[in-house]
Amino acid sequence: MVGSFQLMKSLNRSLILNIIRSAGMISRADIAKKTKLTPPTVTNITGGLLSEGIILEGQTGPSSGGRKPIMLRINSRNFFIAGVDVGVKKIRFGLADLNADLSYQTVVPISERMSEADLVRVITEQVQKLMRESAVPKEKMIGIGIGMHGVVDAERGISVFAPGLKLKNIPLKTMLEDVFLIPVKVENDVRAMALGEAWFGEGRGLDDLICINVGYGIGAGIIMNGRLFRGSHGLAGEIGHTVADLNGPRCTCGNYGCLQTLAAHDGLKNAALKEIILGRPTLISEMADGKPDKISGIVIHEAAKLGDELAIEILRGAGRYLGAAVSNLVHILNPPKIIVGGGISKAGAFILDPLREVVMKRSISEEARKTVIVESGLGDSAGLIGACTLVLSDLFSLNYENTKQTV
Ligand SMILES: [Zn+2]
């Protein structure tokens, strides 16, 4: 049966675990104060958590008169999660502890015509390899978290449509739980990323935030009141397909002028190609050895760093389109912070400066200008950390379906 990890037994356990996690170190008395649970209940539950190796007793804390209290903390290196980040071009794997510290990371490219069976086989083999190389025993693995690009039915753990693989309806959760017999969580990659930012990145301490990923596509993960907001039909955050130009280029979704045709990877590449064909001198063609296929976001960024006018213009243009989208988000949801990540965001100021300028210019009030716009601090690991956080949020949080998961 799936769920050998005997953890989610009651809300009180989750409550206490989450308080210990967020405090770092805390005494039993302070847990009782914060939770309003009785001291015997706290002693009882923490006793269980101690004997299961989920928490540890640490040094003594400051005394408030009597005996110095013993501090409790999460035993973060005692349990592990396998994280899988399935992008458009590659799949990243890593092992995380309860602090989402990653080790044993590997990257596997997505091959042309990867079938559903191939994908499940690659994930299975790589997760088995992670467990073998790290020598983590199976009972210490609390789950597998998968951030999957495209449309995902998170509740049932199905990849509904993965455009990078051109595959539909892959029941990842069921297929992998059958193999590993531990819980498997599947979520859209950008939503997972947003959760990762909320727990371990730029979003720590915030109840509301939006995380935008700009790479081969553009998506957003929205967190409201500490929870992922998916919308009624799982479409919330699909900002890559919001209209940026009614007469713009055709998008992979069939519409015209979607944001991602103008500000994601291929939009940048096409903008460069168009100017090169018109004969505009630029370092981009040289740096791509004159081969259109070699033009990439990285090449454009490198050219911009060398002062290439066209490259800078292309990145600034993308930044302005993103700025318009971010301005829309500010006026619709008014989050305190918007975090920008993904490959294209590595162009840093070339993109973020025009983005912020547009948001400032379009804000309808002084308050709207207070939204903080930052680059993700988790970098290339954001997706993996997010994938692992899918499992961690089940472990620690009260907001999720914990109580249903009794084993
Ligand atoms: Zn579209």
pLDDT digits (tens, 9 = 90+) for 72-107: 999 999 999 999 999 989 999 999 999 999 999 999
Sheet holding 218-224, edge to edge: 227-229, 218-224, 209-214, 337-341, 372-375
Fold of 11-76: Arc Repressor Mutant, subunit A (1.10.10)
Q: How far is the CA of 218 from the centre of ligand 1 (A)?
A: 10
Check residue 68 and give its pLDDT. Answer: 83
Q: Do domains 79-198+382-405 and 205-377 have the same CATH topology?
A: yes
pLDDT for 186-217, tens place per residue?
999 999 999 999 999 999 989 999 999 999 99
Nearest-angstrom CA–CA distance, 108 and 96: 18
Check residue 404 and give its pLDDT. Answer: 36
pLDDT of 400 above 70: no
| Listed range (8-17, 89-98, 127-136, 304-313) with the worst mean pLDDT | 8-17
Q: How far is the CA of 256 from the centre of ligand 1 (A)?
A: 7
Q: Give the residue extent of every domain in the chain.
A: 11-76, 79-198+382-405, 205-377
Q: How far is the CA of 241 from the centre of ligand 1 (A)?
A: 4
Q: How far is the CA of 213 from the centre of ligand 1 (A)?
A: 15
Q: How far is the CA of 117 from the centre of ligand 1 (A)?
A: 28
Q: How far is the CA of 346 from the centre of ligand 1 (A)?
A: 23
Q: How far is the CA of 26 from the centre of ligand 1 (A)?
A: 49
Q: How far is the CA of 292 from the centre of ligand 1 (A)?
A: 23
pLDDT of 403 above 90: no
| Mean pLDDT across the chain | 91
Fold of 205-377: Nucleotidyltransferase; domain 5 (3.30.420)
Residues with CB under 5 Å of ion ligand 1 are 241, 251, 253, 255, 258
Q: How far is the CA of 255 from the centre of ligand 1 (A)?
A: 5
Q: How far is the CA of 254 from the centre of ligand 1 (A)?
A: 6
| Listed range (30-44, 54-68, 145-159, 278-292) with the worst mean pLDDT | 54-68
pLDDT band at 362 (very low <50, low <70, confident <90, very high): very high
Q: How far is the CA of 149 from the centre of ligand 1 (A)?
A: 15
Which H, E and C letters describe the chain, residue by residue? CCCCCCCCCCHHHHHHHHHHHHHCCEEHHHHHHHHCCCHHHHHHHHHHHHHCCCEEEEEECCCCCCCCCEEEEECHHHCEEEEEEECCCEEEEEEECCCCCEEEEEEEECCCCCCHHHHHHHHHHHHHHHHHHHCCCHHHEEEEEEEECCEEECCCCEEEEECCCCEEEECHHHHHHHHHCCCEEEEEHHHHHHHHHHHHCCCCCCCCEEEEEECCCEEEEEEECCEEECCCCCCCCCHHHCECCCCCCECCCCCECEHHHHHCHHHHHHHHHHHHHCCCCCHHHHHCCCCHHHCCHHHHHHHHHCCCHHHHHHHHHHHHHHHHHHHHHHHHHCCCEEEEECHHHHHCHHHHHHHHHHHHHHCCCCHHHHCEEEECCCHHHHHHHHHHHHHHHHHHCCCCCHHHHCC
Q: How far is the CA of 247 from the centre of ligand 1 (A)?
A: 13
Q: How far is the CA of 87 from the centre of ligand 1 (A)?
A: 18
Q: How far is the CA of 152 from the centre of ligand 1 (A)?
A: 17
Q: How far is the CA of 74 from the centre of ligand 1 (A)?
A: 44
Q: How far is the CA of 359 from the centre of ligand 1 (A)?
A: 22
Check residue 188 and give its pLDDT. Answer: 96
Q: How far is the CA of 53 from the centre of ligand 1 (A)?
A: 48
Nearest-angstrom CA–CA distance, 105 and 219: 24
pLDDT band at 4 (very low <50, low <70, confident <90, very high): very low
Q: How far is the CA of 150 from the centre of ligand 1 (A)?
A: 12
Q: How far is the CA of 253 from the centre of ligand 1 (A)?
A: 4
Q: Given this structure, which CATH class describes domain 79-198+382-405?
A: alpha beta
Q: How far is the CA of 347 from the centre of ligand 1 (A)?
A: 23
Q: How far is the CA of 196 from the centre of ligand 1 (A)?
A: 26
Q: How far is the CA of 259 from the centre of ligand 1 (A)?
A: 7
Residue carrying the six token digits 């301005």: 327
| Listed range (90-94, 189-193, 354-358, 401-405) with the worst mean pLDDT | 401-405
Q: How far is the CA of 197 from the centre of ligand 1 (A)?
A: 26
Check residue 343 and give its pLDDT. Answer: 87
Q: How far is the CA of 261 from the centre of ligand 1 (A)?
A: 7
Q: How far is the CA of 92 from the centre of ligand 1 (A)?
A: 25
**What's the CA dihedral at 336, 342, 347, 349 to 10 degrees?**
0
Nearest-angstrom CA–CA distance, 16 and 26: 10
Q: How far is the CA of 297 from the centre of ligand 1 (A)?
A: 19
Q: How far is the CA of 220 from the centre of ligand 1 (A)?
A: 14
Q: Report, as an integer, the average pLDDT of 244-273.
A: 94
Q: Report, as an integer, the average pLDDT of 347-373.
A: 93
Check residue 396 and give its pLDDT. Answer: 82
Q: How far is the CA of 242 from the centre of ligand 1 (A)?
A: 7
